[in-house]
């Protein structure tokens, strides 16, 4: 789950990470009011669940409350296109109005999981403001990392090392170490999958503070954090994914291709997407439908995938173990009249014969394939034809 910058900053503040003074506004008049209260030049920042807002025109400096009002009036209601939103952009509903910061240096700081070593790591770079992927490609030497031993836990000396590597010393060292420790504690206690501050800035008057903040949370742990779940903004999420979740389909991820996929098992679903790519196609989604013992889940999944206007063909790949092929077949038959798209099915495993017999008796238009490669090729051909 993602949250907005203003929400992330409130959490950072609870963990002692310094942030600029400011508040969120949902109208131009409210933005003016906040700027008046702050009584200093402000920055007006579009609140969407995507970064790169600066490049897209979603970050505006305003010297007076009137300018803040005008900037907010332009930004609220705009469809902001950034390198992270895709060409369709995102509608801006709110802005964060903050005191302007006089920046001396921009740095990068993050806590994330390195799944290859199964540990949380601290990552810092002296090239702040840039996307970390760009820095990794062009200045890999500017990136410093510290692997945190989960048994020993985070140690202050690790934060000191990182702070030194980022050129923070003297009076900045102690606050920087406190800030890094706070960010790490937040990451662990709130079950984040990413806690990123980009840029972390050194101000002209020597303070260190979080100018931007991005927090992602592990969906599998969100049940432990009702306070975080309360921050959810469904309007920022993909409507088909929201609908899938509300229908008990928790592993649907919308993608941009034209072949809808219904697969049981996350690994098999990944392999299915690979096979589609190998056959020259593009998957329209990831979906692990799980162990199906009720045909309505298949019906719902077919309805969701069928309502994605980009989908031109559906590939069903089921390796029946605990999931039964006859239940899947029953779902295909029930949904069939409503989903007017070519369906290619590779079915194997438990109750295969019964499933095939049901499909044949119902005379549904399902093209069978014996193996995954054949299924992918047939689905690509159907989508292109």
Enumerate the H helices of the chain as residue ranges.
5-14, 28-38, 53-56, 65-75, 132-138, 156-165, 173-189, 226-229, 239-246, 266-278, 295-306, 325-335, 352-362, 372-384
Nearest residue to the partner Mn ion, using Cβ: 212
HSE-CB at 152 with a 13 A cutoff on CA atoms is 8
Q: Which entry of Mn ion, ligand GDP, none binds 221, CB below 5 to 8 A by partner kind? A: none
For residue 209, what are the contacts with CB-CB under 8 A and spacing of at least 6? 17, 18, 19, 20, 101, 200, 201, 203
Residues that contact Mn ion, how many (by CB under 5 A) = 2
Q: Fill in the DSSP letter of residue 293.
A: -
Looking at 85, 198, 317, 351, which residue binds Mn ion (CB under 5 A)? 198
Q: Does 106 bind ligand GDP (CB under 6 A)?
A: yes
Looking at 54, 73, 306, 310, which residue binds ligand GDP (CB under 6 A)? 54
Q: Which stretch binds ligand GDP (CB under 6 A): 47-55, 189-197, 263-271, 347-355?
A: 47-55
- Minimum Å gap between C-beta 11 and Mn ion is 16
Q: Which stretch binds ligand GDP (CB under 6 A): 95-103, 153-161, 281-289, 333-341?
A: 95-103
Lookup result for tokens 């390796």:
319
- Minimum Å gap between C-beta 135 and ligand GDP is 13
Q: Does 47 bind Mn ion (CB under 5 A)?
A: no
- Cβ closest to ligand GDP, residue 112 vs residue 332: 112
Nearest to 106 by CA among 91, 128, 87: 128
Cβ pair 376, 278 in contact under 8 A:
yes
Of how many residues is the chain composed? 385
- Cβ closest to ligand GDP, residue 126 vs residue 198: 198
Contact residues: Mn ion, CB under 5 A: 198, 212
Where in the sequence numbering do the catalytic residues fall?
Answer: 108, 196
For ligand GDP, the binding residues (CB under 6 A) are 43, 45, 51-54, 59, 100-101, 103, 106, 129, 198-199, 211-212
């Amino acid at each position: 789950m993602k949250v907005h910058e203003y929400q992330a900053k409130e959490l950072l503040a609870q963990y002692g990470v310094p942030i600029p003074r400011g508040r969120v506004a949902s109208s131009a008049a409210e933005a003016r009011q906040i700027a008046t209260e702050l009584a200093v030049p402000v920055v007006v920042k579009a609140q969407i669940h995507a970064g790169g807002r600066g490049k897209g025109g979603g970050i505006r400096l305003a010297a007076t409350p009137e300018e803040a009002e005008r900037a907010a009036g332009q930004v609220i209601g705009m469809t902001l296109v950034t390198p992270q939103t895709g060409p369709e952009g995102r509608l801006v509903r709110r802005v964060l109005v903050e005191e302007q910061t006089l920046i001396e240096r921009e740095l990068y700081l993050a806590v994330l999981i390195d799944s290859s070593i199964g540990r949380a790591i601290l990552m810092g770079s002296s090239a702040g403001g840039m996307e970390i992927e760009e820095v990794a490609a062009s200045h890999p030497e500017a990136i410093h990392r510290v692997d945190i031993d989960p048994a020993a836990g985070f140690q202050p000396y690790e934060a000191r090392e990182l702070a030194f590597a980022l050129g923070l010393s003297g009076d900045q060292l102690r606050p920087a170490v406190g800030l890094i420790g706070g960010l790490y504690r937040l990451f662990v206690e709130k079950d984040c999958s990413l806690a990123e501050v980009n840029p972390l800035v050194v101000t002209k008057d020597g303070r260190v503070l979080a100018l931007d903040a991005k927090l992602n949370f592990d969906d599998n742990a969100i049940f432990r954090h009702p306070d975080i779940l309360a921050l959810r903004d469904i309007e920022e999420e993909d409507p088909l994914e929201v609908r899938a979740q509300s229908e008990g389909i928790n592993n649907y991820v919308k993608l941009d291709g034209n072949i809808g996929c219904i697969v049981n098992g996350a690994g098999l679903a990944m392999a299915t997407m690979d096979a589609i790519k190998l056959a020259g196609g593009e998957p329209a989604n990831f979906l692990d439908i799980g162990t199906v013992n009720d045909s309505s889940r298949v019906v719902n999944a077919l309805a969701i995938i069928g309502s994605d206007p980009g989908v031109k063909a559906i590939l069903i790949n089921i390796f029946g173990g605990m999931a039964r092929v006859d239940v899947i077949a029953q779902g295909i038959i029930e949904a069939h009249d409503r989903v007017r798209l070519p369906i290619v099915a590779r079915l194997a495993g438990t109750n295969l014969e019964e499933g095939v017999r049901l499909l044949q008796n119902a005379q549904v238009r399902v093209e069978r394939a014996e193996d995954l490669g054949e299924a992918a090729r047939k689905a690509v051909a159907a989508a292109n034809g």
